Amino acid sequence: MVLISNPLSDPGREVDVYAAPAAPIATGHPDPSKRWFSPISCTLIQGPTSAVLVDTPATIGLSEGLATWIKKTAPEKKLLYIYTTHLHGDHFLGNPVLLRHFPEAKCVATASVVDGIRKQWPGSLAFWDKLFPEGQIAGDQHIPNALPADGKFHIDGHLLQGIDVSHSDTDASSFLHVPDLKLVVCGDIVYGDCYQFLGEANTPEKRQMWLQS
């Protein structure tokens, strides 16, 4: 499902947002409305010849849908980077699926986010496999590569910068800034039309840090 199409487009540069739909999860909850995982947004930033994807969904099926959309949205562009905003698996476990479709892409995140993913590995995989059982999570997982300390990288000569924040719905979190487009891609720092996850923002201090982010 496309959420926004080219909201900041100008010649040679485009931004599109794909909303991966809510997905059923194996919670065992008696209330069927509690057996769904929230949708997430995946942002495609395009230069004249190349592109960057921000975040991927958790499951193989959702990520296949994203890959199909990218091919239709940017058929002539080379996907060079897949940027992960934070350590929660529902924003990067689809990376292997995207890499099968776009083998030249490099998975990246800020050093802080990479460290956070590494610290929770492999316990987090067991958690996600339980929520999405029967092979819904890709098996060929790997941790993203850390960006330089300043978080900067480029496509088609345009600067992109991963910037860490103190807290969002988890500790190791960041946003991606694209100065030329006056664009900030926020990951789970900003929620829209779904309940916030407060399990790791469970004190007034942490919620205040989230607000400051």
Q: What is the pLDDT of residue 191?
A: 66
SS3 80: strand
pLDDT at residue 4 tops 70:
no
Q: What is the pLDDT of residue 187?
A: 76
Q: What is the pLDDT of residue 173?
A: 85
Record the pTM: 0.90
What mean pLDDT is predicted for residues 76-99? 95
State the DSSP code for 35: S
What mean pLDDT is predicted for residues 102-131? 94
What mean pLDDT is predicted for residues 10-33? 85
Q: Is the dihedral of CA 102, 43, 155, 113 positive or negative?
A: negative
**pLDDT confidence band for 79 (50 / 70 / 90):** very high
SS3 185: strand
pLDDT per position as a tens digit, 117-176: 999 888 889 999 999 999 999 999 989 999 999 999 999 999 999 998 876 556 788 999
Q: What is the pLDDT of residue 205?
A: 74
Q: For the chain, give the mean pLDDT.
A: 87
CB atoms within 10 A of CB 30: 7
Q: What is the pLDDT of residue 141?
A: 94
**pLDDT confidence band for 8 (50 / 70 / 90):** low
Q: Taking a C-beta distance cutoff of 8 angstroms, is the pair 19, 39 a contact?
A: yes
Q: Return the half-sphere exposure (C-beta side, CA atoms, 13 A cut-off) of residue 49.
A: 4
Q: What is the count of structural domains for the chain?
A: 1
CATH number for the domain harbouring residue 182 = 3.60.15.10
Both structure tokens of 184: 């900030």
Domain assignment of residue 43, given as a range? 2-212
CB atoms within 10 A of CB 89: 22
pLDDT at residue 197 tops 90:
no
